[in-house]
């Protein structure tokens, strides 16, 4: 017998990681999905913002849907939604971002017996180059139909069934949980708030010389007083650390720019590890100083 | 005088009867003396040692004894084994030069069965004594013979070409039978195992080179036999279960192989003696006779140091002590620990055995052994806050083992074996997570057997196989971060009672033996779980000619679910039944030449009621866990499988050569749940090819090589991924299960031994080079954390190891 589990821990610490760069966004990738508020009551409206990274200027189809999983693995939404639009939102990204507003269904009240009970709803955000994913076309077609097609419901409950046939680098699916409860507003979780502190972080565009370093500083506050971690991402270069703990409401992140010139984007996701998120996102330009 | 002798498998005389008397006084004398005789073991058609009944003609010779002037013994240097039939010549050293044409006076004798000799009728004066034996060098010494005094001398001959030494003992004819061997029964002799290239001289690693045994990644400590899962193989020590057969990483067997006379490997279609398992069986057979001489050794190699000493207490009793400790942790840990934030203390193990054995003149053997083993692996990590946490894995057991075998008369023999003691497997992980399995287990076997008597048609084997244990498990690992995510914490404890009975009859009709058998097993826990197994089995053995044997067998082989599966943490899972395998095999063995044999076995198995589900629960893995979709549903007896295979083995063995070629062709598939597609078994290896050769050279040299080629294991590729924002990590999306296969695995190993023999001890230096060509074999496929990149994990590069062994 060999301690495979401990060796697995070693692997998780970085052994055998190869060329994997955890702060790099390559290809199409849904970077974050922020729900405001991150916990809501039935019939409450929730604003969902999706950030997407992409390697070029192509427009992306972006699809957002929810699934409240039942014991048999199906989504409760298939039972109470009368139209696909109530369940799924389709759109196109604008500068790597899409926003939509959804109302928590009234039926969710039936799942909640007490104020302390929390129902976990799974949110899914999927991005794909425009008109290149059949699932988007199928959902669009389903939106023209009345009612919920059972086959479509199965696909939304188990996205791996169609994701397995799509190219890994050209599509992206992100999932996260979302809490539905009857808790009073003062008791629910809230998103952290992050403000960039240094001048370059406040600029609409971050400019750095090839091989240079960008110093990003933030003031981060969590309304619930929870510990917040920063997860920086970039399309060019790399951050020193994948995960940085916010201490005393301050955090600094250092981006090592690549040696080549280029244009891209930087994101920093502030995560209270309880569903609360904030996202900082700015364009990034790597450019040699003139002269 | 003509005697009828009953011999055991080691050539010892169990019983003697006078057929033609030489007179009462002679009869009594020879019957008293013959029990101390030792014969070469009888060999069956497959050259496996077997008990036998023989007729033996003993001639008394009357001689007028001259006065003995010199007596002594002739022994092999190093091992100090008595050399029978060695020539000893005394040549008188003349005081003055002899006239031309006149020869000095010479007297020659041969050593007897105990290596002793006497030279009589030597005149007083100087004599040159020369001793020699086939395969050994000549030793010479001079003595001064004086009238009336008997000189005692000892010769220790250095082995030069030992393969030329004749086998000790008389040629015997097998006229009796014991219970026949199994359909496919491979016995590995410890002396051969010790020099097998690429195995480090370890017995179970030698079993891993046998046909029908698939490779596990990194040669991990497990056996994958004939397409069955690792937990379907069972390991025994002298007929009772042993909790752990391998130390961590499969580097070494947990019991010193030098305590064993042989390793019995039964890949399938075996009799009813072994049960509660679907797959192969390995029975480590301790020696059944006390040491004939005090002996021992000390050895060191790259991985471990060992010392063993066997002390003769009397002619009938001896005691043996063996201690081993690895130092892999001491040597290699500094090399691994190149980063500041964690420290790995590589696996280290130690084991010890203390055994006493007594054998009386009638063949009763009583043995007792205390054996213990302790493996440890630790991993320290310092997190970003500077806090240190340690992960640790401990595996240990302390067992008492006892065995009592006794001839009962009228051909019956009894065997009583008992193993009892605590065992524990415990892991403590980062963040205060821990998991352990503990058991206090007693295993008892009582077996009565009677071979088909001479001229008879019926033989019997019946036994009780009883296991009683108190098992306890706890897996508090739900919050374990990292590579593995576990669904639930679990814990449970129960007393488990596993009684089993079996009965087998041997029906002999001429050259054909039919052996039907039935085995019944029960499982009962104090948690009110009950299950039973009824396993009927039948074997047929047909000795077409003395050199050709055809075998066939069919039967059911079943095993109970694990305790955690039947307890299921109180979540009310439906009752689970035992897992079953219907095995069928047909084989033949042909002795082509006295030293060359060929055997082939076609086998198949239909697996049913396999327990599936809860892949997301923690287990102490026997092999690297495959990267594949988890079946997270409740446990159920829904798995089925099919295995088909063909094993071919040709073996050449003479005093200088040991060589074999083994090829296995097989296909093993599974259907995990009803309605799901049939997929390849995770260790399905359609082709296994092994070539082994070892050759003895003069002057203590031996060279050997091993070449292996196996198919790569199937694997399930990752075709996409999902980012889990809550966990800030990636989830894989797998393709269909096991649709891809790793590259073929191949390795060439080399071993060179050189033995220096001194008068009272010998020293052996060996060099064992694994993967001589430094081939990069893919053992596993890992993935980058974002699953975008497949990362092959390679096996050992070229690994030269050396060792020293001093034996006395």
Dump pLDDT digits (tens) for B689-719.
999 999 999 888 999 999 999 999 999 999 9
Quick check: B224 pLDDT over 80? yes
Distance of CA B596 to the CA centre of its chain: 23
Quick check: A136 pLDDT over 70? yes
Phi, psi of B8, rounded to the nearest 5 degrees = -90, 180
Quick check: B506 pLDDT over 90? yes
Dump pLDDT digits (tens) for B757-769.
888 899 999 998 9
How many Cβ atoms are within 10 Å of A114's Cβ, its own excluded? 8
- The percent of residues in chain B predicted with pLDDT above 70, rounded, is 90
Span B122-142, mean pLDDT?
88
pLDDT of res. A9 = 46
Quick check: A34 pLDDT over 90? yes
- Identify the residue with better confidence: B204 or B297: B297
Q: How confident is the model at residue B183 (pLDDT cuts 50, 70, 90)?
A: low
Q: What separation, in Å, do the N-terminal and C-terminal C-alpha atoms of chain A show? A: 64
Tell me if A20 and B734 make a contact (CB, 8 A cut-off): no
Tell me if B724 and A175 make a contact (CB, 8 A cut-off): yes
Quick check: B384 pLDDT over 80? no
Tell me if B723 and A172 make a contact (CB, 8 A cut-off): yes
pLDDT of res. B263 = 84
Dump pLDDT digits (tens) for B146-166.
877 888 888 988 887 777 766
Q: Can you name the residues that pair with B295 across neighbouring β-strands?
A: B310
How many Cβ atoms are within 10 Å of B610's Cβ, its own excluded? 22
ipTM entry: 0.94
Of B582, B590, B576, nearest in space to B558 by CA: B582
B404 touches chain A (CB under 8 A): no
Dump pLDDT digits (tens) for B161-175.
777 766 544 333 333
CA distance B211 to B662: 6
CA distance A77 to A68: 7
Q: How confident is the model at residue B246 (pLDDT cuts 50, 70, 90)?
A: confident
Query: E strands, B246-326, where?
Result: 260-266, 281-286, 295-301, 304-312, 317-326
A171 touches chain B (CB under 8 A): yes
- Find chain B residues with C-beta within 8 A of A277's C-beta: 725
- Classify residue A140 as exposed, middle or buried by CB count within 10 Å of its CB (0-12, 13-18, 19+): middle
- Classify residue B414 as exposed, middle or buried by CB count within 10 Å of its CB (0-12, 13-18, 19+): middle
Residues 316 to 345 of B: which have CB under 8 A from any A CB? Answer: 341-342, 344
Fold for domain A21-187? Immunoglobulin-like (2.60.40)
The total number of residues shown for chain B amounts to: 808
- Find chain A residues with C-beta within 8 A of B379's C-beta: 6, 9-10
Residues 344 to 363 of B: which have CB under 8 A from any A CB? Answer: 344, 347
Dump pLDDT digits (tens) for A210-266.
999 988 999 999 999 999 999 999 999 999 888 999 999 999 999 999 999 999 999
Of B311, B291, B406, B413, nearest in space to B360 by CA: B406
Tell me if B791 and A1 make a contact (CB, 8 A cut-off): no
Q: What crossing angle do the helices spanning A134-143 and A150-157 adopt, rounded to 10°?
A: 140
- Encode B569-636 in three state secondary structure: HHCCCCCCCCEEEEEEEEEEEEEEECCEEEEEEEEEEEEEEEEECCCCCCCCCCCCCCCCCCCCCCCE
CATH 2.60.40.2410 occupies which residues in chain A? 193-286
- Find chain A residues with C-beta within 8 A of B723's C-beta: 29-30, 172-175
Quick check: B177 pLDDT over 50? no
Span B48-73, mean pLDDT?
78
Give A176 to chain B, closest Cα distance, Å.
5
Is B72-164 a domain of CATH 2.60.40.1120?
Answer: yes
Nearest to A20 among B250, B728, B789 (CB): B789
- Specify the CATH architecture of the domain B282-807: Beta Barrel (2.40)
Residue of A nearest to B247 (CA): A1
A245 touches chain B (CB under 8 A): yes
CA distance B345 to B600: 45
Span B330-337, mean pLDDT?
66
A166 touches chain B (CB under 8 A): yes
- Find chain B residues with C-beta within 8 A of A173's C-beta: 720, 722-723
Q: Which residues of B13-45 are buried (b: 16+ CB within 10 A; e: fewer)?
A: bbbbebeeebeeeebeebeeebbebbbbbbebb
pLDDT of res. B624 = 63
- Find chain B residues with C-beta within 8 A of A169's C-beta: 788
- The percent of residues in chain B predicted with pLDDT above 90, rounded, is 43
Nearest to B720 among A168, A177, A245 (CB): A168
Of B293, B291, B352, B286, nearest in space to B322 by CA: B352
Span A46-56, mean pLDDT?
93
Residues 734 to 793 of B: which have CB under 8 A from any A CB? Answer: 734-735, 782, 784-789, 791, 793
Tell me if A5 and B221 make a contact (CB, 8 A cut-off): no
Of B136, B153, B36, nearest in space to B79 by CA: B136
pLDDT of res. B174 = 34
DSSP 8-state code for residue A86: G
pLDDT of res. B363 = 86
Tell me if B725 and A175 make a contact (CB, 8 A cut-off): yes
CA distance B669 to B682: 9
B395 touches chain A (CB under 8 A): yes
Span A195-213, mean pLDDT?
78
Span A181-201, mean pLDDT?
83
CA distances to B192, B210, B263, B660 from B654, rounded to whole Å, are: 12, 19, 20, 12
B148 touches chain A (CB under 8 A): no
CA distance B259 to A265: 68
Task: Report yes or no: A253 and A229 within 8 Å, Cβ to Cβ.
Answer: no
pLDDT of res. B151 = 87
Dump pLDDT digits (tens) for B186-213.
777 777 777 788 787 787 788 888 888 9
For the ranges A2-16, B633-647, B653-667, the lowest mean pLDDT is seen at A2-16
Domain ranges of chain B: 2-57, 72-164, 186-281, 282-807
Give B218 to chain A, closest Cα distance, Å.
10
Place of tokens 């006065």: B67
B248 touches chain A (CB under 8 A): yes
Tell me if B726 and A177 make a contact (CB, 8 A cut-off): yes
For strands B657-671 and B687-697, give the pairing.
Answer: antiparallel
Q: How confident is the model at residue A16 (pLDDT cuts 50, 70, 90)?
A: very low
Tell me if B481 and A175 make a contact (CB, 8 A cut-off): no
- Identify the residue with better confidence: A2 or A128: A128
Half-sphere exposure of B587 (CA within 13 A, CB side): 29
pLDDT of res. B483 = 45
Span B566-581, mean pLDDT?
78
Residues 416 to 455 of B: which have CB under 8 A from any A CB? Answer: 425, 427, 429-430
Quick check: B383 pLDDT over 70? no
CA distances to A155, B32, B332, B349, B376 from B345, rounded to whole Å, are: 47, 60, 9, 12, 9
Residues 701 to 720 of B: which have CB under 8 A from any A CB? Answer: 719-720
Task: Report yes or no: A74 and A154 within 8 Å, Cβ to Cβ.
Answer: yes
- Find chain B residues with C-beta within 8 A of A166's C-beta: 720
Quick check: B76 pLDDT over 60? yes
Task: Report yes or no: B495 and B470 within 8 Å, Cβ to Cβ.
Answer: yes
Of A22, A20, A46, A43, nearest in space to A34 by CA: A46
Tell me if B344 and A10 make a contact (CB, 8 A cut-off): yes
Residue B15 in tokens: 């019983």
Place of tokens 């054995």: B357
Residue A5 in tokens: 């589990």
Q: How confident is the model at residue B227 (pLDDT cuts 50, 70, 90)?
A: very high
pLDDT of res. A40 = 92
Give B10 to chain A, closest Cα distance, Å.
34
Identify the helix (H) or strand (E) that includes residue A102: strand A97-103
CATH 2.60.40.1930 occupies which residues in chain A? 21-187
CA distance B94 to B104: 7
CA distances to A143, B285, B293, B400, B427 from B318, rounded to whole Å, are: 87, 17, 9, 18, 39
Q: What separation, in Å, do the N-terminal and C-terminal C-alpha atoms of chain B show? A: 39
- Encode B635-683 in three state secondary structure: CEEEEEEEEEEEEEEEEEECCCEEEEEEEEEEEEEEECCCCCCCEECCC
How many Cβ atoms are within 10 Å of B102's Cβ, its own excluded? 9
CA distances to A11, A168, B104 from B784, rounded to whole Å, are: 10, 14, 86
Q: How confident is the model at residue A12 (pLDDT cuts 50, 70, 90)?
A: very low
SS3 assignment, position B460: strand
Give B722 to chain A, closest Cα distance, Å.
5
The CATH label, of 3.40.50.720, 2.60.40.10, 2.30.30.30, 2.60.40.2410, for the domain at A193-286 is: 2.60.40.2410
Quick check: B298 pLDDT over 60? yes
Residue A111 in tokens: 């799942």
Span B544-553, mean pLDDT?
93
Span B734-753, mean pLDDT?
93
Q: How confident is the model at residue A10 (pLDDT cuts 50, 70, 90)?
A: very low
pLDDT of res. A71 = 83
Mean pLDDT of chain B: 86
Q: Mean pLDDT: which of A101-105, B299-303, B720-724 is highest?
A: B720-724
- Identify the residue with better confidence: B351 or B26: B351
Give B373 to chain A, closest Cα distance, Å.
13
pLDDT of res. B178 = 47
Dump pLDDT digits (tens) for B553-563.
999 999 999 99
Residues 191 to 230 of B: which have CB under 8 A from any A CB? Answer: 218, 220-222
B481 touches chain A (CB under 8 A): yes
């Amino acid at each position: 017998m060999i301690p495979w589990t401990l060796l697995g821990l070693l692997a998780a610490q970085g052994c055998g990681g190869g060329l994997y760069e955890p702060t790099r966004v390559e290809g199409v990738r849904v970077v974050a999905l922020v729900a405001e508020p991150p916990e809501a009551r039935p019939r409450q409206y929730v604003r969902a913002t999706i950030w997407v990274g992409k390697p070029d200027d192509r427009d992306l189809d972006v699809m957002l849907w929810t699934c409240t999983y039942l014991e048999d693995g199906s989504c409760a939404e298939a039972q109470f939604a009368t139209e696909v639009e109530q369940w799924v939102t389709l759109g196109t990204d604008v500068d790597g971002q899409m926003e939509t507003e959804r109302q928590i269904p009234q039926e969710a009240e039936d799942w909640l017996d007490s104020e302390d009970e929390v129902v976990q709803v799974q949110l899914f955000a999927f991005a794909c180059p425009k008109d290149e994913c059949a699932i988007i076309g199928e959902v669009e077609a389903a939106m023209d139909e009345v009612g919920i097609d059972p086959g479509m419901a199965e696909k939304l409950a188990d996205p791996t069934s169609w994701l397995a046939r799509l190219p890994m680098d050209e599509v992206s699916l992100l999932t996260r949980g979302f809490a539905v409860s009857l808790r009073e507003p003062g008791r629910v979780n809230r998103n952290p708030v992050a403000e960039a502190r240094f001048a370059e972080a406040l600029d609409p565009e971050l400019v750095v010389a090839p091989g240079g370093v960008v110093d990003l500083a933030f003031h981060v506050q969590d309304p619930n007083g929870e510990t917040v971690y920063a997860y920086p991402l970039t399309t060019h270069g790399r951050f020193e650390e994948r995960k940085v703990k916010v201490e005393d409401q301050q955090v600094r992140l250092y981006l090592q720019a690549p040696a080549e010139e280029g244009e891209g984007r930087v994101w920093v996701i502030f995560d209270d590890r309880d569903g609360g998120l904030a996202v900082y996102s700015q364009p990034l330009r790597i450019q040699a100083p003139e002269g | 005088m003509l005697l009828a002798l009953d011999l055991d498998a080691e050539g010892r005389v169990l019983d003697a009867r006078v057929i033609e008397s030489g007179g009462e006084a002679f009869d009594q004398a020879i019957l008293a003396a013959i029990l101390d005789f030792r014969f070469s073991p009888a060999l069956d058609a497959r050259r496996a040692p077997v008990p036998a009944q023989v007729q033996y003609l003993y001639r008394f010779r009357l001689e007028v004894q001259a006065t003995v002037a010199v007596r002594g013994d002739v022994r092999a240097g190093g091992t100090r084994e008595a050399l029978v039939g060695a020539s000893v010549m005394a040549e008188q050293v003349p005081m003055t030069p002899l006239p031309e044409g006149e020869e000095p006076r010479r007297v020659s004798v041969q050593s007897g069965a105990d290596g002793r000799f006497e030279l009589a009728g030597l005149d007083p004066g100087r004599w040159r004594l020369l001793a020699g034996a086939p395969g050994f060098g000549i030793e010479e010494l001079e003595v001064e013979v004086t009238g009336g005094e008997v000189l005692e001398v000892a010769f220790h001959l250095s082995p030069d070409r030992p393969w030329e030494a004749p086998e000790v003992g008389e040629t015997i004819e097998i006229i009796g039978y014991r219970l026949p061997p199994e359909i496919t029964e491979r016995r590995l002799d410890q002396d051969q195992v010790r020099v097998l290239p690429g195995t480090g001289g370890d017995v179970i690693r030698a079993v891993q080179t046998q046909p029908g045994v698939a490779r596990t990644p990194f040669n991990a400590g497990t056996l994958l036999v004939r397409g069955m899962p690792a937990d379907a193989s069972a390991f025994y020590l002298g007929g009772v279960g042993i909790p752990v057969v391998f130390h961590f990483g499969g580097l070494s067997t947990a019991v010193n192989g030098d305590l064993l006379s042989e390793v019995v490997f039964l890949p399938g279609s075996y009799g009813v003696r072994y049960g509660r398992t679907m797959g192969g069986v390995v029975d480590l057979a301790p020696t059944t006779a006390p040491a004939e001489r005090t002996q021992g050794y000390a050895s060191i190699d790259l991985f471990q140091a060992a010392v063993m000493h066997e002390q003769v207490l009397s002619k009938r009793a001896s005691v043996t002590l063996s201690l081993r400790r690895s130092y892999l942790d001491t040597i290699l840990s500094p090399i691994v620990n190149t980063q500041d934030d964690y420290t790995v203390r590589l696996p280290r193990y130690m084991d010890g055995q203390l055994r006493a054995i007594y054998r009386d003149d009638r063949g009763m053997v009583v043995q007792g052994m205390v054996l213990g083993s302790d493996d440890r692996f630790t991993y320290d990590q310092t997190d970003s806050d500077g806090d240190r946490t340690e992960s640790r894995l401990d595996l240990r057991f302390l067992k008492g083992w006892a065995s009592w075998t006794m001839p009962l008369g009228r051909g019956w023999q009894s065997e009583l074996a008992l193993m009892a003691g605590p065992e524990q497997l415990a892991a403590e992980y980062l963040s205060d997570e821990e998991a352990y399995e503990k058991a206090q287990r007693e295993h008892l076997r009582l077996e009565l057997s009677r071979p088909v008597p001479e001229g008879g048609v019926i033989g019997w084997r019946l036994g009780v196989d009883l296991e009683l244990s108190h098992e306890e498990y706890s897996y508090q690992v739900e919050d374990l971060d990292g590579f593995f995510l576990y669904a639930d914490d679990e814990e449970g404890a129960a007393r488990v009672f596993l009684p089993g009975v079996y009965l087998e009859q041997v029906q002999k009709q001429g050259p054909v033996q039919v052996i039907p058998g039935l085995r019944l097993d029960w499982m009962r826990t104090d948690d009110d779980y009950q299950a039973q197994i009824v396993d009927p089995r039948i074997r047929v053995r047909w000795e077409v000619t003395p050199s050709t044997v055809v075998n066939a067998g069919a039967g059911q082989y079943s095993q109970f679910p694990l305790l955690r599966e039947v307890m299921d943490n109180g979540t009310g899972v439906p009752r689970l039944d035992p897992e079953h395998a219907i095995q069928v095999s047909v084989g033949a063995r042909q002795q082509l030449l006295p030293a060359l044999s060929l055997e082939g076995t076609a086998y198949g198995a239909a697996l049913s009621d396999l327990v599936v589900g809860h892949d997301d629960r923690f287990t102490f893995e026997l092999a690297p866990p495959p990267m594949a979709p988890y079946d997270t549903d409740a446990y159920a007896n829904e798995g089925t499988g099919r295995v088909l295979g063909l094993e071919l083995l040709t073996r050449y063995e003479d005093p200088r050569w040991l060589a074999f070629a083994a090829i296995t062709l097989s296909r093993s598939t599974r259907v995990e749940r009803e309605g799901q597609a049939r997929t390849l078994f995770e260790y399905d290896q359609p082709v296994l090819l092994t070539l082994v050769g070892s050759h003895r050279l003069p002057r203590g040299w031996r060279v050997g090589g091993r070449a292996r080629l196996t198919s790569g294991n199937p694997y399930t590729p990752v075709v996409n991924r999902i980012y889990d924002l809550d966990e800030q990590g990636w989830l894989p999306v797998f393709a269909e299960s096991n649709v891809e296969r790793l590259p073929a695995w191949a390795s060439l190993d080399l071993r060179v031994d050189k033995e220096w023999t001194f008068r009272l001890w010998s020293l052996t230096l060996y060099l064992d080079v694994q993967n001589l060509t430094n081939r990069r074999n893919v053992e596993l496929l890992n993935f980058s954390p974002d699953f975008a990149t497949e990362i092959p994990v390679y096996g050992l590069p070229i690994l030269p190891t050396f060792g020293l062994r001093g034996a006395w």
